[in-house]
Amino acid sequence: MTITAIEARALGKRFARRGNWALRDCSFRLPAGRVCALVGVNGAGKSTLLALAAGLIAPTEGGITVLGGHPADARPDLGYVAQDKPMYPQLTVAETLRMGADLNPGRWDPDTAERIVSGGALDRDARIRSLSGGQRTRVALALALAKRPRLLLLDEPMADLDPLARRELMGLLMATVAEQGTTILMSSHVMAELEDSCDHLLVIGDGRVRLAGDMEELLAAHRLLDGPAQDGTSGAGPELGQDTVVVSHTTTGRQCTALVRDAGAAPPDGWRAAEPSLEEVIVAYLRNPEVPGLALDTVFAAPQEATA
Ligand SMILES: Nc1ncnc2c1ncn2[C@@H]1O[C@H](COP(=O)(O)OP(=O)(O)OP(=O)(O)O)[C@@H](O)[C@H]1O
């Protein structure tokens, strides 16, 4: 059994020879059976990474293995829902699902497809081109999930779903993970959605890995320190040991708040320590690209330098 679902080593992609890098020096390991949130600002390289993992585009440098082999070889075991949900516009919903069944003999689960489509009360005779964005998402998720994939690559899957559909389909995704041990790599900009459903995190900034690893371990590696600004070195942050990295700090009047990465040493005198939220950690790394990233569980690459 494969214990690594995706492994990227110094993975890089640029779409034109002299163009900018869409993804650069990206190294991480996603263990099988995890639900991984893929986070980054617009244009950070999330869709590029998902397309590389799906084997739809080739790396410019470095490499990526999926389910232990070349991404193209893993395709039968992959479910991929792209951001624009490409499907044949002239086919009806019923014809689209029938095509999914024909293309996946022996593994198609008609009950799952039926459950997803009927949840949205979709007309089976409606053509794909006539569906709303959320209805198209439903059909795309039905195709991806009914295939019983070992790895699901989802590019902002919930973006155009209403709140009820989000809950319903997120619940279904989580049930699938629990029943079948499916690995999910899912991009989203909605932190609350990710915090509730994911146990692993991959944050990309300017095409590079900023954070990668188990969500709880990443959170446990950080603390929010709160204390008097005048106690700080340069008057801004707390005085800390050499092993501590100040990821971000803000000063309001005489009060300073710093997000730090350390081994859990006692806070300096006069400072209070608290657990940061997931959003606080992610935002701090995205706002401060000069701070070295943190990739847990990646033995082949030290936390890389920030963007040049
Ligand atoms: N086919 C392409 N040709 C040229 N450049 C591309 C192509 N696809 C993506 N890019 C560029 O690569 C960079 C990363 O794009 P990507 O779509 O991967 O970002 P993203 O993180 O998914 O963004 P968003 O959150 O807006 O969906 C961007 O600068 C984008 O312009």
Non-local (6+) Cβ contacts of 73 within 8 A are none
Q: Is 303 among the domain residues?
A: no
Q: In total, how many domains does the chain have?
A: 2
User: Which candidate, 295, 308, 150, 274, places its Cα nearest to that of 218?
Assistant: 295
- Would you say residue 6 has pLDDT above 50? yes
The percentage of the chain sitting over the pLDDT mark of 70, rounded to a whole number, equals: 91
Q: Give pLDDT tens digits for 8-50.
A: 999 999 999 888 999 999 999 999 999 999 999 999 999 999 9
In 3-state terms, what secondary structure has residue 42?
coil
Residue 46: CB within 6 Å of ligand 1? yes
Within this chain, do residues 121 and 104 fall inside the same structural domain, yes or no? yes
Average pLDDT over residues 198-213: 91
Within this chain, do residues 23 and 123 fall inside the same structural domain, yes or no? yes
**Ligand 1 pocket test target in 47, 56, 160 with most atoms within 8 Å of CB:** 47
- Entry pTM: 0.89
What's the whole-number average pLDDT of the chain?
88
Within this chain, do residues 113 and 247 fall inside the same structural domain, yes or no? no
Burial 223-240 (b: 16+ CB within 10 A, else e): bbbbbebebbeeeebbeb
Nearest alpha carbon, ligand 1 atom 8 = 48
**Ligand 1 pocket test target in 11, 13, 15 with most atoms within 8 Å of CB:** 15
C-alpha 249, offset from chain centre: 26
Q: Where are the beta strands (DSSP E) in the chain?
A: 4-14, 21-31, 35-39, 61-66, 78-81, 151-155, 183-187, 200-205, 208-214, 222-228, 245-252, 255-261, 272-274, 294-295
- Would you say residue 284 has pLDDT above 70? yes
Within this chain, do residues 151 and 235 fall inside the same structural domain, yes or no? no
Q: What is the pLDDT of residue 303?
A: 41
- Would you say residue 236 has pLDDT above 90? no
Within this chain, do residues 141 and 244 fall inside the same structural domain, yes or no? no
List the domain range (segments joined by +) for residue 149: 4-216
Q: CATH number for the domain including 40?
A: 3.40.50.300
Within this chain, do residues 148 and 251 fall inside the same structural domain, yes or no? no
ipTM over 0.90: yes
- Would you say residue 305 has pLDDT above 70? no
Within this chain, do residues 151 and 53 fall inside the same structural domain, yes or no? yes
Within this chain, do residues 254 and 141 fall inside the same structural domain, yes or no? no
Higher pLDDT, 207 or 152: 152
Within this chain, do residues 137 and 206 fall inside the same structural domain, yes or no? yes
Q: Pick the range with the lowest mean pLDDT from 99-113, 214-228, 264-278.
A: 264-278
Non-local (6+) Cβ contacts of 181 within 8 A are 32, 33, 150
Q: Is 292 among the domain residues?
A: no
